[in-house]
Structure 1
Amino acid sequence: MKNFQSIVMIILFSITSVFSQEKEILEKYGITVNTLQEGLKEGEQAYTFKAKDQNGETFDLKKALKKGPVVLNFYRGSWCPYCTKHLKNVQDSLSLIEATGATFIAVTPELADGNLELAKKKGFTFDIVEDSKLEIMNGYKVTFDVNEGYQEMLKKYERDLTKINAIKRATLPIPATYIISQDGTILKRHYDPNYKVRMSVKETLSVLENI
């Protein structure tokens, strides 16, 4: 009996230790752990939406899917160097993505003015839409509230999320990527709380070329 109790205690300690380590890592990435959503999964139906792009035109996911698959990317904002680097890689290979019949769309909580400025500065020709009420982010379950420590760090660099974001809240998406088939099924997703890790263009093209 004592041996059994000891084993149970060891297991419980291990689980608690792993959770504590995971929580610490997530908090390092600016995540308030109890607000983190788990993201839509592969095989589930994509959340459809209409939203204004950087040019004030309406992007309609349902209409885009009638033309071909859609690559949907969530990014934190123009202030994030990891986001802009990833989007630059996409732009450099955009012709290859579009050659598969696919559409690439980027979604951010940032104000539309910031999106337009970013597109002009970096030469982005794909649509960037402002998720002004977090409806798209919540639809794909990629939302989290930014913890106070990370907010204060960003403010030192004059990046106040309560001013940059359209909804005036310090809320961000996991920088996830979803590849959606024409019937609205999520074929592939990249979901990683580590904002330094993204779905590569090579992997994106591999999926698209095999649809």
Structure 2
Amino acid sequence: MKNLLIILFLIASIQITSAQETAIYEKYGVTVGTLQPGLEVGESVKNFKGKDQNNKTYSLDDALKNGPVVVNFFRGSWCPYCVKHLINVQDSLSMIEAKGATFIAVTPENQERFTALAEKKGFTFEMVEDKKMDIMNSFEVTFDVNDGYQNMLKKYENDLTKTNAIKKAALPVPATFIISQDGKIIARHYDPNYKVRMSVKDILNTLESI
């Protein structure tokens, strides 16, 4: 009887934790059943290509020939947390590049919108349009946006079915992956809470350890 009660208690605890996590994720706009787990440290990354803010084709493989690459996924120019993080990166970009690395920001937002952001904020790192969400899916950071969050964004005149290049209400977890020249992930920050990002300090510390 005692063992049975312990088992029932554990099951109930797991169910409560799961329900709490679901509620938290939904707060961040995540349709929980669609949330991808993100690639792990040690996994290899596939090459990807995309058009940047200067309408040039970016290739991850080409970038890795010159050194490590920091890949950041940002939700769009409409997200103040994304913009603040990218401003912090730009302010310290010379230090990242001094480590022999490059920084790239990948977004599902259409090129016209993030190009306007780059020009306004003076971003000199490359920003790449994930036109069909192929990059997001290859890093396993994609999720469908729930109706409640979509409706909230529309109040601020942002309809993801119009501002995303693929015309679909899907977003990436605002994750950051640091990739070594052999194409393997050596560090990652993955958190569905869009208010939390990998700090520039952590990026630099990782690059220093290579």
Shift of 1:48: 1.4
SS at match of 2:177: strand
Residues 91-136 of structure 1, C-alpha deviation per residue, up to 9 Å, x if partnerless? Answer: 0000000011101000000000011100000000010000010000
Look up the SS of the partner of 2:65 in the other structure.
helix
Give the unaligned 5+ runs of structure 1: none
Residues in 2 aligned to 1:203 and 1:145: alpha-carbon distance in whole angstroms: 29
Deviations 1:69-95 (A, max 9, x none): 000000000000000000000000000
Q: RMSD across aligned C-alpha pairs, in angstroms?
A: 0.5
Identical counterparts, % of pairs: 65
The whole-number CA distance in structure 2 between the counterparts of 1:4 and 1:178 is 44
* Offset, 1:6: 1.2
Determine whether 1:150 maps to 2:149.
yes
Matched with 1:9 is 8
SS of alignment partner, residue 112 of structure 2: helix
- Structure 2 gaps of 5+ residues are none
Q: Which residue of 2 aligns with 1:35?
A: 34
Give the TM-score, by structure 2 length: 0.99
User: Is residue 2:119 matched to residue 1:120?
Assistant: yes
Is 1:91 aligned to residue 123 of structure 2?
no
Specify the alignment match of 2:75 in structure 1: 76
**SS of corresponding position for 1:68:** coil
Matching residue of 1:199: 198
Aligned residues: 210
Deviations 1:147-203, CA, capped at 9 Å, x for gaps: 000000000000100000000000000000000000001000000010000000001
| Aligned equivalent of 1:170 | 169
Distance in 2, Cα, partners of 1:191 & 1:156: 28
- Mean Cα displacement is larger for which, 70-79 or 43-52? 43-52
Structure 1 CA distance for aligned equivalents of residues 54 and 21 of structure 2 = 40
Tell me the residue number matched to 1:66: 65
Find the residue that maps to 1:162 and give its secondary structure: helix
User: In the alignment, residue 6 of structure 2 is paired with which amino acid?
Assistant: I
TM-score in terms of structure 1 length: 0.99
Letter in 2 for 1:174: V
User: Cα distance, 1:47 vs. partner?
Assistant: 2.4
User: Per-residue deviation at 1:7?
Assistant: 1.2
Cα distance in 1 for partners of 2:2, 2:132 equals 54
2 CA distance for matches of 1:71 and 1:95?
13
* Distance (whole Å) between structure 2 residues aligned to residue 122 and residue 112 of structure 1: 15
